[in-house]
Amino acid sequence: MITRTIRNKKQAFKIPMIIFTVLLSISLVGFFAYSPLQIDSPQNPSYVTEAQRMIEQINRLEQGVKADPGNVNLLISLGNHFYDLSMFYAAYGDLEKATRYIEESTKPYSQALEINDNLVDVRVDLATAFFYAGENDLAEEQFKQAVAHDPTFINGLVNYGVFLYSVREDKNAALEQWEAALKLDPDPLIASSIEEMITRVSGED
C-alpha cells in the first residue's frame, strides 16, 4: 500500500491501503494502473455532490492561500485536498481528472517545503504525488531526501519501498526499506501489511 502520510485529521476522502495491495498483486508500474473501486456510478447524484463539495473546499483554500501565500498550513491543506480529489476520481475510473489533480497537489506541497524544508511528512506526500503522476525521478529525489532527513518516519520507508519495487524493480532495496520500517514497531495493522509484503516479495524468483 502506498498512501499519503497518516494524519490525525480525518476530514478528507481517503483510499487507505488498497492501492498498496494492488501494487503488489499486479506489479504495476505507472499512475493509477489498477481497476477502479466498485463504488457508486459517476452518474449517481452522490458522486456529483461529493465532487462538488471537494472542489468548493479547494476553491476556499485557494482564496486563503492567495490572501496569505506564506501560510504553510493552508498550503499543506490545499495539497491534501487536491490529492484526495485525485484519489476520488481515480476510484471512479476518471483517470484524466485524477491525473490533473494529483499534478496540482504537487504545487502547494512544493511551496510549503520552500518555506519549511523540515516537513518530512509533506515531503513524503510530495514524493508520493510525483509517483502517481509518473514523475519518477522527482519522486525518487523527494523520497531519498525524506528518508535521509528522518529515517524513523515509517510512511517514508514504506512508500519509498513501494516505489523501489514497482518502478525501479529493485526488490532488495524495497525489502530493505520495509524491514527498516518494521524495526520501528509500527501500528499492528501497518506492521501486518508490511510483513505480508515482505513475505510475498521475498518469495518471488
Give the mean model confidence (pLDDT) for residues 27-32. 35
Name the band, by pLDDT with cuts 50, 70 and 90, for residue 5: low
- Euclidean distance between CA atoms 22 and 109, whole angstroms: 26
Residue 30 DSSP label: S
Q: Evaluate if residue 65 carries a pLDDT over 60.
A: yes
- Predicted TM-score (pTM) above 0.85: no
CB-based burial of residue 87 (10 Å sphere; 0-12 exposed, 13-18 middle, 19+ buried)? buried
Axis-axis angle for helices 188-202, 154-166 (nearest 10): 20
Residue 149 has what pLDDT?
97
pLDDT tens digits for range 86-138: 988 888 888 889 899 999 999 999 999 999 999 999 999 999 999 988 899 99
Asked if 136 contacts 91 with a C-beta cutoff of 8 angstroms, the reply is no
Residue 79 has what pLDDT?
95
pLDDT tens digits for range 187-199: 888 888 889 889 9
Residue 4 has what pLDDT?
57
What are the residue ranges of helices labelled H in 30-170? 45-67, 72-91, 95-115, 120-132, 136-149, 154-166
The three cell numbers locating residue 122: 509533506
The three cell numbers locating residue 95: 483517470
Bigger pLDDT: 72 vs 134: 72
Domains of the chain, with CATH numbers? 18-202 (1.25.40.10)
Q: Which of 86, 93, 173, 172 lies closest to 128 in space, CA to CA?
A: 86
